[in-house]
Amino acid sequence: MSDRAVTRVREVMNARVDVIDGMAAISDALRLMRDSGAQCLIVSKRHPDDEYGMLLISDVARRVLGEDRAPERVNVYEVMAKPVVGVDPEMDIRYCARLFTRFDLTRAPVIEQGEVIGIVSFSDLVLRGLCKF
């Protein structure tokens, strides 16, 4: 058994969560991303039985810019990923990295008791988790 301390997702995640409505225009989402410096936005639930969505810069590049669509005429819900794979804040970062690899993810919402409390990315896992050793 290893004496190595376990680093939890909670310790490395970004607690800043930028949220947008799925009906918002991509142009509004881009303004929010630019102003906050976010690489992704969480798309809010429409009702209690709904799931969270996520909008990534890469989604916008592929599905709006790459298809030559007008960002003010495309809604977030048309481009976002939904449902998204959520991560428990108490998960060991090594397992989180394996989860990302298995499902080809670059980032995921950190969900505690049904609410998004942060975002974790491969960069967070490596630079805040692995580099602290």
- The pLDDT mean for the chain works out to 94
Q: Is there a domain that residue 99 lies in?
A: yes
Tell me whether residue 1 is in a domain.
Answer: no
Residue in 84, 93, 91, 86 with CA at minimum distance from that of residue 117: 86
In a domain, 3, yes or no: no
Tell me whether residue 120 is in a domain.
yes
User: For residue 5, what pLDDT band results from cuts at 50, 70 and 90?
Assistant: confident
In a domain, 98, yes or no: yes
Q: Could you tell me the CATH number of the domain that includes residue 55?
A: 3.10.580.10
pLDDT exceeds 80 at position 12 = yes
Q: Is residue 93 part of a domain?
A: yes
User: Does 101 map to a domain?
Assistant: yes
Containing domain of residue 94, as a range? 9-132
Euclidean distance between CA atoms 94 and 105, whole angstroms:
14
Give tens-digit pLDDT for 83-126.
999 999 999 999 999 999 999 999 999 999 999 999 999 999 99
Query: What pTM value is reported for the model?
Result: 0.89
Structural contact between residues 79 and 64, judged by C-beta atoms closer than 8 angstroms: yes
H-helix or E-strand spanning residue 115: strand 115-121
Beta bridge partners of 75: 25
> What is the number of domains present in the chain?
1
Phi, psi of 11 (to 5 degrees): -75, -20
24-27: long-range contacts at Cβ-Cβ below 8 A with a sequence spacing of 24 or more?
24/75, 24/76, 25/71, 25/72, 25/73, 25/74, 25/75, 25/76, 26/60, 26/64, 26/71, 26/72, 26/74, 26/75, 26/76, 26/79, 27/71, 27/72
Asked whether residue 81 is assigned to any structural domain, the reply reads yes
